[in-house]
Amino acid sequence: MKQNIKLIILVLFLSAFGISYVPANVVDSDIKFHPIKHATFVIQSKTATIYVDPVGDPKSFDNYPKPDIILITDIHRDHLNKEVVDNIKGPNTLIICTRDAETQLKKGKILNNGESLNHHGIIIEAIPAYNLTPERLKFHPKGRGNGYLISISGETIYISGDTEDIPEMKSLKNIDYAFVCMNLPYTMTESQAASAVLTFKPKVVFPYHYRGKNGFSNIDKFKTTVEKAGYTKVKLLTWY
């Protein structure tokens, strides 16, 4: 009951600003996206289930099948928890991660920036994820973290990981769905995120990972800026 009341309040609040609420798995596609929290979510297609940065309460994943693939973007605690990974993985789960994450997990297939693999017809490429702004360089040095490009069921999904509006993001092409972070002081501003999205023009973008040190980023500002250009649709999922 309390959760339903919170949902109604959220819908009314967003409507007041002209923002449409999109339930967790409502996307016009065979691929469904289920937010768990912050940077953690589940991707489901007809052929595979993918967990992205699984952290938090393992019970949050009880309603989903065991993952065929787990993707880890970085080593920070909002992306990597060895105990959770060990708890939720299945006997045939492929864990794809960075070199530093593999050191902590003691398992996993390392993908360095620019490398890719084909797992039963699902193509996954590691895209760089790093900071550009001088005062933020200490958070995410180039080469340590990954974003991911996933080609599955005839569609392409981009997951930014912890990054700013780097050239490698802006040069992406033909992206169907993009998950783009924006939390200060660790990644980028709403304006940086919007500028990047307006450059690489995904069909749909999901703001995620937008809780920063001093609260939440202004995702309605991001939405307004992006949709004004008339190409990319911004869809809001329930992360918090």
Q: Can you give the pLDDT at residue 30?
A: 87
Q: How far apart are CA 95 and CA 30, in angstroms?
A: 23
Closest Cα partner for 226 from 197, 185, 189, 203?
A: 197
Number of domain units in the chain: 1
* Structural domain boundaries, residue 52: 23-234
> Which pLDDT belongs to residue 11?
44
- Cis bond before residue 185 (omega within 30° of 0): yes
Whether residue 8 is predicted with pLDDT greater than 50 in this model: the reply is: no
Q: Is residue 18 part of a domain?
A: no
**Mean pLDDT in residue range 193-211:** 98
Q: What is the mean pLDDT of residues 98-104?
A: 97
pLDDT tens for 203-219 read 999 999 999 888 999 99
Q: Is pLDDT at 98 greater than 50 in this prediction? A: yes
pLDDT exceeds cutoff 50 at 20:
no
Identify whether 10 is part of a domain: no
What is the domain-level CATH number for residue 228? 3.60.15.10
Distance, in Å, from the CA atom of 19 to the CA atom of 42, rounded to the nearest integer, reads 24
Rounded distance, CA 72 to CA 148, Å?
9
Per-residue model confidence (pLDDT) at position 22: 43
**Mean pLDDT across the stretch 3-20?**
44
Rounded Cα gap, residues 156 and 29, in angstroms = 12
Separation of alpha carbons 235 and 100, rounded Å: 32
Q: Report yes or no on whether pTM surpasses 0.85.
A: yes
Q: Are 56 and 37 in contact (CB under 8 A)?
A: yes
- In the chain, the percentage of residues whose pLDDT exceeds 70 is 88
Tell me the C-alpha distance between 104 and 19, whole Å.
Answer: 40
The whole-number average pLDDT for the span 149-170 is 97
Classify residue 5: in a domain, yes or no.
Answer: no
